[in-house]
Amino acid sequence: VYNLRSRVIDISTEKRTSLLNLKDAEAFGIRTHDRVRVRAGERSVTTIVQTTKTIVHPGELGVFEDVARQLEIESGAMVAVELQPAPTSLRLIQKKLKGERLTGEEILNITGDVVNRNLSDVEIAAFLLAQQFHGMAIEETVSLTKAMVETGASIDFEKPVYDKHSIGGIPGNKVSLLIVPIIAAAGLLIPKTSSKAITSASGTADTMGVLAPVEFSAGELKKIVLKTHGAIVWGGSLNFAPADDILINVEYPLQIDPESQMLASILAKKLAVGTDYLVIDLPVGKESKVESFEEARGLSNRFIELGEKLGIAVKCGLTYGGQPVGYAVGPALEAREALQALEGKGPSSLVEKSTALAGLLFEIAGKVIRGKGQDFAKEILNNGRALKKMREIIEAQGGNPMIKPEDIPIGQHVAEIYAPADGYITRVSNRAITEIARAAGAPMEKGAGLIFYGKEGHKVTKGEKVLEIYAERESKLEEARTVALKINPITVEGMLLREIPEF
Amino acid sequence: VYNLRSRVIDISTEKRTSLLNLKDAEAFGIRTHDRVRVRAGERSVTTIVQTTKTIVHPGELGVFEDVARQLEIESGAMVAVELQPAPTSLRLIQKKLKGERLTGEEILNITGDVVNRNLSDVEIAAFLLAQQFHGMAIEETVSLTKAMVETGASIDFEKPVYDKHSIGGIPGNKVSLLIVPIIAAAGLLIPKTSSKAITSASGTADTMGVLAPVEFSAGELKKIVLKTHGAIVWGGSLNFAPADDILINVEYPLQIDPESQMLASILAKKLAVGTDYLVIDLPVGKESKVESFEEARGLSNRFIELGEKLGIAVKCGLTYGGQPVGYAVGPALEAREALQALEGKGPSSLVEKSTALAGLLFEIAGKVIRGKGQDFAKEILNNGRALKKMREIIEAQGGNPMIKPEDIPIGQHVAEIYAPADGYITRVSNRAITEIARAAGAPMEKGAGLIFYGKEGHKVTKGEKVLEIYAERESKLEEARTVALKINPITVEGMLLREIPEF
């Protein structure tokens, strides 16, 4: 035990770190990444050591604000520092690194230490890379899913719960704004949690956020859903499977996404709301997350198998992911298009995809016989019950239930992009569309985005408008226009695509 | 580009980090671990982003002290922040993660970014784990070794350079204090860089540190060696292969040590002083780093092959590593034993090992014919030339050349451990010995350590003294005594070890 004068450091790392002068560290035989227990009176907390040559002097311990708060100390208080053995979770990560299989208890131990910030980012990276290299047995993935649920909040509705999840990657995918009211209108519970855009132009939570607030606690979500049967809220404030955000931050720079972790993260959030029936939307196509049907089929089987072991009946819908869904991209433009579709004036790609997925849910729920689900969903959409239900949901979430598509403010600065030649649109690039919409300001500037006037297979004449870009600020519009002209989001070709031989 | 008010944070992480409020990060589409270029006037520096919810407010950028110094700004200065693409090195790490082979240029790119702190610990961990999982081809390891040299300081002696390296793990291994003067006395250059103890009771730099200063710059080392032909200095202040320290800090919590990285780190430090001939001491035995001869033979072959490609003639000496070398453990006690050996009064295990390894160096240097090296080394030791040379080296490094073994201060607090029964010492535990010496205060308290009065094979009678523990403080002595009584470092058994059958 070493007694040091504490020095509170005025930042919160949200990680349990303490800072030791390198000379002291050497004298005490303590190294970077070692754990020390820091004790002040009755209180103590275990922190991970970082060393410094400069600011924290010998005899001092740098205590980050979050640790100081836990210890209830201020700068200058004496603290006792004692080297701790590495936590069990670290030994278990080392075990997985060697390719050994982990038990459920062991996985829960690791997950708990991830959530409690008792593992450093380096150690978490090792856990993820061990999964990436050695894979995980299905039993391990089941344990990981359960552990992610157990270490976070959850809701028990005491009734069957339905849900839909898209693995993402396709711009304009506002289908949840149709599916949720369709399912809820049929009297089934669908507490849809969704994400904000990280790299896309609008996440479901961003799009719904145009119509109503989306940040709720678990208790508030439960109340809303028990009243309206449906909700579309942001998952970020619910504390469901909180390990996920921490893991994603570590995966991100390495661009890894171990399948076991991806499966567990998705299903944990569903399990946290007690989902019994789940439809997963797997968009397949160029520049989508899954590029081939074989890959999609393999992934579907794993989702289904894992669902079975977790008590969730899973059905996967392989959908066309080669170009955006509908004609609008960006939070406000997508919200407007979704409302139009609920009013019966939506583009067919959006309506077909939404009702097909809703139909699958009705079928696995046993509401209709197999093959009749989509018709049932279309009926609810066409007879206005879905729109009525959406208004109830908007109201329950604190939005204006009487909002009309034309009330939604969109960007006032508009640029038009024209077809460069006569011919057919042969390709709309998901990646390029997202890049342009983000350059225009989406998702932070709600009114930014774009609208197509033609998609794949449409015949266009040279000079015809194929795209409109919307922005809230002139400077952003210019940025987006520059990007659009450079990366060419829409390819137009004559019917004769290629001559063979080429000379 | 976003303009923010800087806020200098009063710690140096020795890593290029900046801290962004989570709300700003979301608004800018910037994530944890992203790179941003921070610009202040003409100056700019690329930093890795961490986010916070609390202390850095929206509109502010938290700038750590080292970054502030580089930008020459103080708190309140406006800085422009711009998202940067991930560095090439990170893409290359991702490539290695997929199991692809890296070119020399690519490995140099990664190593450069490690040294420049342009890669986070998580990213460095991924590089090490990729090596661990996929291994490295010999050409990659060659490139890694060269890259580690190129990204640090080096010395060109313009003459053949000799060196000896021990892979470590054995307590009491003070052989360098004999080998260096023996080699130098024969007129060969031996600029021995060594390490301080991290987990052991005394590193060579700690032991030599008792006799003379060991911290020098590369220029100073060169001057000393050109004068005396030999030196024993601490590697830490020389900036040879600086990537190594950074990598070791990341390996440590994960307890990984990829062989490619281990080989490269060792040979890079030798290459940095222009080593032409190298003898590697591989102690083999229980609780040593290499436990079997097969393992040692494989490792030797890799050292030799790698050495060939790097222009270093390598010879590996497999030595007995089952128990400590000599009778003394701990900085002062070991320095005293080494001086005694140079005076011709050393224990045979120390003299035999030192002269055998020095002999190998003489043989590969062509000083003597094969099989005559050890005799030649013993002659230099026995005729006092090694002692004379050691005094010159001590003087050149700024120590007292006339120091005698009995002048070296050792711990005043002594405890004795006795044989528990009549019999033979069948085992001395390396691990237990290290633990006791560290509990007594070694290596920070120079006088702490222990002395054996019997080693493996010695006959003892019950109650006979087998071990003395030395400490500078009574409290440390008590700690060490408690540890010694608990873990039993020396096993005594009757000649009849086991009866078969046992009943």
- Tens-digit pLDDT profile for residues B51-99: 887 778 899 998 887 788 889 988 889 999 998 888 999 999 999 999 9
Using a CB-CB distance cutoff of 8 angstroms, which residues of chain B are in contact with residue A196? 26
Q: Which residue of A has its CA nearest to B98?
A: A133
Task: Name residue B80's beta-bridge partners.
Answer: B3, B39
Instruction: Tell me what the pLDDT averaged over chain A comes to.
Output: 91
CA distance B180 to B176: 6
Strand pairing of A78-84 and A35-40? antiparallel
Using a CB-CB distance cutoff of 8 angstroms, which residues of chain B are in contact with residue A257? none
DSSP B161: B
Using a CB-CB distance cutoff of 8 angstroms, which residues of chain A are in contact with residue B122? 121-122, 125, 250, 253-254
The CB density around residue B147, as the number of other CB atoms within 10 Å, is 25
What's the complex ipTM? 0.81
Q: How confident is the model at residue B498 (pLDDT cuts 50, 70, 90)?
A: very low
Q: How confident is the model at residue B248 (pLDDT cuts 50, 70, 90)?
A: confident
Q: Which residue of B has its CA nearest to A31?
A: B249
Using a CB-CB distance cutoff of 8 angstroms, which residues of chain B are in contact with residue A438? 29
Nearest Cα of chain B lies from the Cα of A233 at a distance, in angstroms, of 18
Determine the number of helices (DSSP H) and then strands (DSSP E) in chain B.
Answer: 18, 18
pLDDT average, residue stretch A233-255:
90
Using a CB-CB distance cutoff of 8 angstroms, which residues of chain B are in contact with residue A65? 54-55
The CB density around residue B485, as the number of other CB atoms within 10 Å, is 12
Q: B interface mutation test: which of A122, A131, A479 has the most B CBs within 10 A? A: A122
Cis check: omega of the bond before B443, within 30 degrees of 0 = yes
Contact criterion met (CB < 8 Å) for B14 and A53: yes
Evaluate whether B230 touches B393 at the Cβ level (below 8 Å).
yes
Q: Which residue of B has its CA nearest to A35?
A: B253
CA distance A493 to A499: 13
Task: Name residue B38's beta-bridge partners.
Answer: B45, B81
Describe chain A by its helix, strand, coil percentages, rounded to 5: 45, 20, 35
On the question of pLDDT at A501 being above 60, the answer is: no
Long-range CB contacts (within 8 A, 24+) of B312-315: B312/B267, B312/B270, B312/B271, B312/B275, B312/B276, B312/B277, B312/B278, B313/B276, B313/B277, B313/B278, B313/B364, B314/B278, B314/B279, B314/B280, B315/B278, B315/B279, B315/B280, B315/B360, B315/B361, B315/B363, B315/B364
> Of A134-138, A315-319, B251-255, B375-379, which gets the smallest average pLDDT?
B251-255
Q: B interface mutation test: which of A1, A11, A28, A51 has the most B CBs within 10 A? A: A11
Contact criterion met (CB < 8 Å) for B125 and A122: yes
DSSP B57: P
pLDDT for the residue numbered A276? 96
pLDDT for the residue numbered B492? 85
Q: B interface mutation test: which of A35, A254, A444, A479 has the most B CBs within 10 A? A: A254
Q: Which residue of A has its CA nearest to B444?
A: A27
Per-residue b/e over B83-110, b at no fewer than 16 CB within 10 Å? eeeebebbebbbebbeeeebeeebbbbb
Per-residue b/e over A86-114, b at no fewer than 16 CB within 10 Å? ebebbebbbebbeeeebeeebbbbbbbbb
Active site annotation includes A257: yes
On the question of pLDDT at A31 being above 90, the answer is: no
A469, exposed or middle or buried, with CB in 10 Å at 0-12, 13-18, 19+? buried
On the question of pLDDT at A500 being above 70, the answer is: no
pLDDT average, residue stretch A287-316:
92
Amino acid at A77: A
Q: Which residue of B has its CA nearest to A29?
A: B198
Task: Determine the straight-line distance between the first and last CA of chain B, rounded to whole angstroms.
Answer: 82
Contact criterion met (CB < 8 Å) for A11 and B56: yes
User: Residue A120 is nearest to which of B53, B253, B256, comparing CB atoms?
Assistant: B253
Describe chain B by its helix, strand, coil percentages, rounded to 5: 45, 20, 35
pLDDT for the residue numbered B302? 95
Closest residue by Cα to residue B131 from B34, B264, B253, B291: B264
Using a CB-CB distance cutoff of 8 angstroms, which residues of chain B are in contact with residue A86? 253
SS3 readout for A136-148? CCHHHHHHHHHHH
Using a CB-CB distance cutoff of 8 angstroms, which residues of chain A are in contact with residue B135? none
Q: What is the gyration radius of the CA atoms in chain A, in angstroms?
A: 26
Q: Which residue of B has its CA nearest to A438?
A: B29
Q: How many CB pairs under 8 A join A and B?
A: 121
CA distance A182 to A205: 18
Nearest Cα of chain A lies from the Cα of B470 at a distance, in angstroms, of 18
The token pair that represents A399 in the structure block? 């939005």
Strand pairing of A78-84 and B413-418? unpaired
Evaluate whether B218 touches B242 at the Cβ level (below 8 Å).
no
The strand ranges marked E within A364-458 are: 413-418, 423-428, 449-452
Contact criterion met (CB < 8 Å) for A253 and B26: no
Q: Is residue A465 within a helix (H) or strand (E), and if so which, with residue range?
A: strand A465-471
The token pair that represents A158 in the structure block? 């005491």
Contact criterion met (CB < 8 Å) for A122 and B123: no
User: Residue B120 is nearest to which of A50, A196, A253, comparing CB atoms?
Assistant: A253
pLDDT for the residue numbered A14? 58
Closest residue by Cα to residue A3 from A77, A92, A57: A77
DSSP B441: T
Q: Which residue of B has its CA nearest to A94?
A: B254
Using a CB-CB distance cutoff of 8 angstroms, which residues of chain A are in contact with residue B54? 11-12, 65
Point out the catalytic residue in the list A257, A281, A375, A407: A257
- pTM, two decimal places: 0.85
Starting from the edge strand earliest in sequence, which strands make up the sheet with B413-418, in order? B328-329, B449-452, B465-471, B413-418
Using a CB-CB distance cutoff of 8 angstroms, which residues of chain B are in contact with residue A93? 254
On the question of pLDDT at A383 being above 60, the answer is: yes
The token pair that represents A90 in the structure block? 């670290």
Q: How confident is the model at residue A499 (pLDDT cuts 50, 70, 90)?
A: low
Evaluate whether B449 touches B202 at the Cβ level (below 8 Å).
yes
- Helices A259-272 and A121-134 sit at what angle, rounded to 10 degrees? 110
Contact criterion met (CB < 8 Å) for A121 and B126: no
Amino acid at A370: R
Q: Residues A82-123: pLDDT tens digits?
A: 988 889 999 999 999 999 999 999 999 999 999 988 898 899
On the question of pLDDT at B502 being above 60, the answer is: no
Q: How confident is the model at residue A4 (pLDDT cuts 50, 70, 90)?
A: confident
Q: Residues B182-197: pLDDT tens digits?
A: 999 999 999 999 988 8
Contact criterion met (CB < 8 Å) for B50 and A13: yes
Point out the catalytic residue in the list B257, B276, B281, B375: B257
pLDDT for the residue numbered A198? 75
Nearest Cα of chain A lies from the Cα of B301 at a distance, in angstroms, of 25
pLDDT for the residue numbered B84? 87
Q: How confident is the model at residue B310 (pLDDT cuts 50, 70, 90)?
A: very high
DSSP string, A246-292: HHHHHHHHHT---HHHHHHHHHHHHHHTT-SEEEEEEEESTTSSB-S
Evaluate whether A55 touches A62 at the Cβ level (below 8 Å).
yes
Q: Residues B199-210: pLDDT tens digits?
A: 789 999 999 999
User: Residue A125 is nearest to which of B29, B126, B438, comparing CB atoms?
Assistant: B126
